[in-house]
Amino acid sequence: MKIITETNYQKLRTLLKKSEKPIIFSSEDDDLNRKVLEKEKIDILLINQDKRKDYQKQRNSGLNQVMAKIAKKGKVTIGINLDEIINSNPKDKSLILARVKQNIFLCNKNKLNMTFIEEKHKRNSTDLKSLGLALGMPTWMFKEF
C-alpha cells in the first residue's frame, strides 16, 4: 500500500498508470484532488487535514458536496490519515477531528465509504470502529475496517 503524492498532473497520470492496486492518492491542493477525482481512476482519496487553514465562518476540510458527488460516481473511498491525528499537538488535533467529523457528515449524506489510513501507528479494528463511532460514523460505513 503506497500513497501517491504528486503536484504535477502529467507526472501523476504516468504514476497512476504504472502503480498497482489499491491506488491511494494524497495532495494538499483541492483543485488537483477534484481533477483527479473527475478524470483518473483511483481507489482511495486521502485528504490531509494538517496544514489547512479554516475560513472565518466555516471549516476547510478539503471535501465539499461537489467532490463528494464526484467520488460517489467514481466509487472512490475517502481516507482519513490516522498518523496525522496521532502526531499532532492537542490544539491542532481538535481542529483536525472537527474537519474529519465534517467529512464524515458529507460522506454519510452522499453514501460514501470512509477508511482510516495508517502507516506508522497500527491500530486494531476495534479501536478504529470506536473512533469512528465517536466521530459520528454510521455503522454501515465501517464494515470493512
For residue 145, the model assigns a pLDDT of 62
CB 97 within 8 A of CB 81: no
* pTM (2 d.p.): 0.87
Superfamily of 3-142 according to CATH: Metal-dependent hydrolases (3.20.20.140)
Cell of 131: 473512533
Q: Which amino acid is at 36?
A: V
Over residues 100-140, the pLDDT tens digits come to 999 999 999 999 999 988 888 788 888 889 999 999 999 88
Going by C-alpha positions, the residue among 42, 41, 135 that lies closest to residue 80 is 135
Task: Please give the Cα distance from 96 to 88 (Å, whole number).
Answer: 9
